[in-house]
Every structure is written in C-alpha cells, then in structure tokens.
Structure 1
Amino acid sequence: MSIILSDFLVRKPEGYYCRYGDFFIDAGSPVAHNVVSHAHGDHASSGHDYVYCTNGTALFMSYRYKQNRKDSYQVKLFNGTFKIGPVEITFLAAGHILGSAQILMEYQGVRYLYTGDYKLQTDETCEPIEVQQADVLITESTFANPEVIHPDPIQEIKKLEGHASNILLGTYVLGKAQRITDLINRYCPERRVLVHSGILPYHRLYDEHGLKKMTYEPYNRREMKQGEQNKVYLVPPMTFNSYFRATKVLRAFASGWKRLQAQNDIELYISDHVDWNDILHYIKMVDPKEVWTLHGDGTILKSYFGDRLMVRDVLSA
C-alpha cells in the first residue's frame, strides 16, 4: 500500500517546495527549478534558472519579465508527463486564465494534485478545467467559506445594461479583463469596450494565442467624452482607485470580494476563483484521501468535514 508523505510539499520562504524532486512550485523568489501554475504575479516571478510551465504561461511571463533568459522556460503541453528527479509531473487545465494549470505529481504510487488557482465556471477565453482523481488534493482556499457563493456571471455582466451612462470598470489586467471583455461582447453587445494601456498588451496576446477573438478598442479620451454613452472603460485596480473623483461615469469593479464592491455604483460579483460550493464539488470529483489547503483559510473546510476527511494546511518546513 502506497503511503501519503505528509511533507511531500511544504511551505518555505521561497515558495512551496518538494524535496523529493528538489523543485519549487510558484516560488516568489529565485530558485533553481520552479514549476509555475499560471502567470499571475502572486504565482509567477522572475530570476529562476528553469521555469516549467505551459505555453500560455510562458508567453505572459516572457512579456512581463523581459529580463528572464528565453532558455529558462521549459514549456510543457497539457496532459504531457515529464519528470523532475523521480517525480512525474502532468499539467492539467485549471480553468483560471489562459494557460493556467493544475500540477499533478506522482511519486511512489501516490498522486498529489496542486490546483493553483482554479474555477469551475464557464470561461470561453481559457482552457476549461480538467478533473482527475488524486490521493491528495492541494487546493486554494481563497473563498473557502459558506458565506461566499458566486452568482451567475452572465446575470452579473447584464447589470451593465440599461444605464444611460459610460462605465468605468476596474479589473485585473490578466485573465479577468479578457473574460470581462468576452462577456460584454456576448451579453451586452450594445456596449463598446475601451481598454486601458496597461491591459491592452494582454488583450493582444490573448488575440494572438488564445481561444477566441475579442472586440475592443484602445482607450481614447475623445471617444469617452463624446457620442453615445455606451462605453465600458476597462482599467487596472490602481487606475480605478486613482479615478475616485471621475464624473459622468458609473463605477464598477469585477471581483468576488465584497469589500471591493463598496461605494461603487454597480456591484459586479465576477470571480475567477472557486467559491464554497465549487470547492465541495471539486473535492467530491477528485475523491482524495486528504485535502491540503493554501492561499487562504482552510479552517471552516476542516470543521465542515470533521472526521470524514483529513483537511489541513500545507505544512511549513
């Protein structure tokens, strides 16, 4: 019988470390071997000797971290297995952003599945999540709270309709902005999407290498001030916060966090993370013997399962 190793993945200052293969996952500071789940800045960083990731993640990291050596990227296909030391690794689509991957690790007959950030909701701008059974599910727990249930994103985006005003919409530049653009294109077709310069390069990378084309325009101040009041101007969070005195626009911010909806004109609860129900559903589908939590608070999840399933945080080294 194969034994689950409680220290297979541990938390170190640099990131999550697997000593059995001598590699890190989503390291935040330079290491020799770094397996990267996706290209968001809290998971992807610069300066590593070798970066193992999908093509989509390599594209975004190459744009953001131009100082990285091109030969540091070890690009792997989804569902293609490779080894680091004796550990077999397979990337499975995570459904979070374009190129986002779950990291399935197999060692001595035990399967450890690190989700990275993931979502179950439909998103036509990225690869849909793939489910495989694992002995240990290592899951993010950003919204691991029964008080957080994400609403239908289609009904949320339709809140932008019916307003005789332009809309200033705060959004994260990679993944969320492209999903929002696609949702507006499909469900608010009368709305023109204008894109901030900080978001525009990622839209173009999605257009060149992604799953579908989006309809949008670079931001133009004259267009925003003239003509029909049917425009949605997508801006990064810092820009959104700096425009707190903006007039003649309605304000909205696309996020699952309630605190980011305060004082806005339109609440827009669109998240690229799993909520409480999604986490429970995913645990059922993966059918693990143990659940290890990170990126959030797993206390409520542990209490929910009690003696029925081992739930704990990833151990610190």
Structure 2
Amino acid sequence: MVAWLVPKPEGLYCAPGDFYIDPLVPVPRAVITHGHADHARPHHEAVLATPETLAIMALRMGEDRAGRARQSLGYDTPLRLGDVTLRLAPAGHVLGSAQVVLEHAGQRAVVSGDYKRVPDPTCAPFEPVPCDLFVTEATFALPVFRHPDPRREIGRLLHDVRLFPDRTHLVGCYALGKAQRLVALLRQAGYDAPVWLHGALRPICALYGRFGIDLGVLGAATGAARDAMRGGIVLAPPSAIADRWARRLPDPVVCLASGWMQVRQRAKARGVELPLVISDHADWDALLQTCDDTGAREVWVTHGREDALIHALGRRGVRARALRLVGYGEEDEAGDAAAAEGEPA
C-alpha cells in the first residue's frame, strides 16, 4: 500500500515531496504531465514539467499565468524533491507529455497522466515503467472502445477527398496534439498538398515546428481565397465546424477526429458526415495491457469509466480503486472552444 500519495480536493498530493500532480487549483508546487487545459492550470507558484509542456503552457496561458517559477526536466532525468526521487517518462499522448515516476521508502508509484500506446510521429512513444502503484486514466475504459489503426482512418479521409474533388473536407480536431498528429499522418500517407488551418491551430503547429516536428506546408484558412481550399483539407477546432466560420468553405464535408466517433449517436448529433476514429488516449485493450506491463499490484483509476476497469483488474488479482478526481475533461475541448472564440469569420 502506497500511503504517501494522497488524493486531495486540490489534486493528487505527494506528501514526502510536498507537491501536487496536475492540481485543479493554484498550489505552491505543481508537477504537470502535459499541456492540455484540464491538466495544466494557471497561477501555480512553482511548476515542473518537460521543456515542451512548459512552452505549451506559456503559449496558451501567457508567461504571467504559466507559473511564477518554472523548472524544466527532460525525460529519464532523476531529480530529488524533498524525500522523493522523481523522473518523467514519455506518455505518448501529445508533445512533451509525461508520466510522473516517484520513488520513496522502497516503493515506486507511476502517475500516467493521459497516454496512448499506438505510434505517433509527433511525440515520444509511451514507455511502460514497472511499479508498485500505477495511477491510470480511464477515458475509454469500456470493452466497446477498441480503436482502429489511425492509418486506416486517414486512408478513409483521403479516399473521400478523391471521391469528392470539388468539396472541402473540414476536419474538427483538438488544437493541441490531434491537429499536429493528423497533419503528420497525412504526410506519412503521401499527402503533400497544403493543409489549411483555422487560426486557433496555427500557434501550436508553429510551436511543434520549433521542437523539430516538420508538418510540411500549412495554409491559413482564414483570409484564403474560397476556391483555393476547394478539394482540400481544412483543420479546425470541433467548436468551429458548426460555426459561421465554416460557412465560407466550398461545400464542406464535415468530419471529426476523435475516439468518441466510435459512438454513432455522437457523430450524428454533431452533424458529422465522416467520423474518423482517431484517439490520443489508450483504448480498452491498451489500458489493460499497460496495467499488466507495469506489474503493479495496486492501480488507482481516475477521470473516466472507472468501474469496468476496476472490475477487470480485480479479476486479474490487482487491487484497484477509483480516485474520482473531478475537473478532468475528455481532451482539451474547453481550451479549443475558448481559442476558437477569438478567430474571425
């Protein structure tokens, strides 16, 4: 039993190190797993994260809100904080995303943050870390969620582009992580035409470029000639695909890239013509495989569908419980919606 990691209203607290992991409110010391707005909150006194996550936080929040004192820590670099040794391991979720690995009193705990196990050309791949306690997300923790190969989904998109050469394919996607991954997957599939971007996506794509992620030619959808985008692919936040901003596009085919597109009712409710099941989270099989890979005999499950995963782990002889921490979202929908509000039509 790991007694020195404690769930509190502020978030998950490491007592011997005196810091919180992805706290929900401003705290004196925070360790941040990645830059999505439901995990990276503003106004902490001191923030520790990967260089990429710190840069993302500064870009999205502003320098004055991203932590008064910021400490950069690369992957697999041990650091002593109080009586705890901490290191960050790749989580495979988005650029700079990290698992927090903690060692104290002969025990090791790993806090996953959000993660996925499938290859992603825009971020370091997930690395399983053996541990006594594993704290896992559970966004897609139901047996119905078994995500297809993202290359297949990109193939479906490109097939539709060829099928309707006079229509614009408008793809809703989150600004941080999903948009850049979609562009990279399109490039891997041989698509070398410009990919057009809603204004809310452009700053993050530029930041990825500064960290060495080459996304090829990207066009600004706002202000571009209407016919220049005909037959092309436009990426925009999910909130923009049904907005007046989209009305100027030539006969758009509305698409949405998300693990939730496996649920047909969700796609239909949002008027999605071409749902693309591309997720930046682990699906049911990957969640179970990851818990097995860590060898943890104790698993805490947070922000998702805890009950099914807890039941399945119990049948494997693993002691599992729900943390039921509130305040974590599906991905970064709130942040994207806020960013989209400032985008001119």
Q: Fold-level match, TM-score > 0.5?
A: yes
Aligned residue among 254, 258, 272 for 1:251: 254
- 1:283 aligns with 291
Cα deviations by residue, 1:134-177 (Å, 9 ceiling, x for unpaired)? 11111000011111001110000111123322111111000111
- 2:343 aligns with none
Can you give the 5+ residue segments of structure 1 that lack an aligned partner in the other structure? none
Cα deviations by residue, 1:226-282 (Å, 9 ceiling, x for unpaired)? 157321111112212324974611000110012542231101000000000101111
- 2:329 aligns with none
* Cα distance change on mapping 1:284 and 1:243 into 2, 3 Å: farther
| Conserved 8 A contact 1:46-1:68 | yes
Residue 57 of structure 1 aligns to a residue in which SS? Answer: helix
Equivalence map 1:1-317=2 (5 Å): 4-5=1-2, 7-66=3-62, 67-68=64-65, 72-161=69-158, 162-164=162-164, 165-187=167-189, 189=191, 191-223=193-225, 225-227=226-228, 229-243=230-244, 246=247, 248-257=251-260, 258=263, 259-262=265-268, 263-307=271-315, 308-314=317-323
Residue 96 of structure 1 aligns to a residue in which SS? Answer: coil
Residue 241 of structure 1 aligns to a residue in which SS? Answer: coil
Q: Report the aligned-residue RMSD.
A: 2.0
| Conserved 8 A contact 1:125-1:210 | no
* Cα distance change on mapping 1:244 and 1:252 into 2, 3 Å: farther
TM-score by length of 2: 0.85
Aligned-partner Cα distance in 1 for 2:229–2:10: 50
Cα deviations by residue, 1:5-51 (Å, 9 ceiling, x for unpaired)? 2x433332222222232211101211000000000000001111100
Aligned-partner Cα distance in 2 for 1:136–1:202: 34
Aligned-partner Cα distance in 2 for 1:228–1:63: 28
TM-score by length of 1: 0.92
Aligned-residue identity in percent: 33
Task: Note the C-alpha offset of 1:295.
Answer: 1.2
Aligned-partner Cα distance in 1 for 2:228–2:74: 46
* Cα distance change on mapping 1:90 and 1:207 into 2, 3 Å: same
How many residue pairs get aligned? The number is 311
Can you give the 5+ residue segments of structure 2 that lack an aligned partner in the other structure? 326-345
* Cα distance change on mapping 1:244 and 1:227 into 2, 3 Å: closer
Aligned-partner Cα distance in 1 for 2:277–2:51: 30
* Cα distance change on mapping 1:227 and 1:54 into 2, 3 Å: closer
